[in-house]
């Protein structure tokens, strides 16, 4: 089996500086959610083994939101494949895609609603979808408690 070498030291240093939390896209969506009066958790652990962290979560409603970077998650519309050390990067991005699919599957099996957005998508549109999902979850919670009180 061929050994895949990691990037050059310079490329590794550059990539280490790339934000993994609170990216511009995540912050833009969070600001819009906050403006709409929604409160949420940031970088919330939704699975412990294997450890998976949602960018935005509504734990009481079991809603996990992920804002995926076009490069790191292989957006079909915007991602580019590096020419230097191409096989290393292809494997890295494909493993990210596999992990994303596994995370969705595990969360759905655990009763979570999973929302994924690309960093290039409008934060206003993403926030609207999230707000509607939270609203529906709130309505289900209220509906499920109606008639739950015993009459004396």
Do 59 and 113 contact (CB within 8 A), yes or no? no
Give me the pLDDT at residue 81, please.
83
Q: Please say if the pLDDT value at position 2 is more than 50.
A: no
Q: Report pLDDT digits (tens) over 58-75.
A: 999 999 999 999 999 999
Cβ atoms within 10 Å, residue 35: 10
**Of the ranges 6-10, 95-99, 100-104, which one carries the lowest mean pLDDT score?**
6-10
What average pLDDT does this structure show over 102-131? 97
What number is the average pLDDT over the span 145-152? Answer: 51
Q: Which pLDDT does position 140 carry in this prediction?
A: 81
* Nearby residues of 6 by Cβ (< 8 Å), 6 or more positions away: 12, 85, 88
Domain definitions of the chain by residue range = 20-139
Predicted TM-score of the model (pTM): 0.80
Q: Which CATH class is domain 20-139?
A: alpha beta
pLDDT of residue 3: 43
């Amino acid at each position: 089996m061929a050994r895949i070498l990691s990037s050059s030291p310079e490329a590794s240093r550059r990539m280490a500086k790339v934000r993994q939390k609170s990216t511009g896209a995540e912050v833009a969506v969070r600001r819009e959610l906050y403006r709409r009066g929604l409160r949420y958790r940031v970088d919330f652990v939704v699975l412990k083994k294997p450890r998976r962290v949602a960018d935005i979560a509504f734990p009481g409603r079991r809603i996990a939101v992920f804002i995926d970077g076009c490069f790191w998650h292989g957006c079909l519309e915007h991602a580019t494949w590096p020419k230097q050390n191409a096989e290393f990067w292809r494997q890295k991005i494909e493993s990210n895609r596999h992990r994303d699919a596994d995370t969705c599957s595990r969360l759905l099996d655990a009763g979570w609603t999973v929302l994924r957005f690309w960093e290039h998508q409008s934060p206003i549109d993403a926030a609207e979808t999230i707000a509607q999902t939270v609203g529906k979850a709130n309505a289900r919670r209220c509906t499920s408690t109606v008639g739950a009180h015993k009459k004396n």
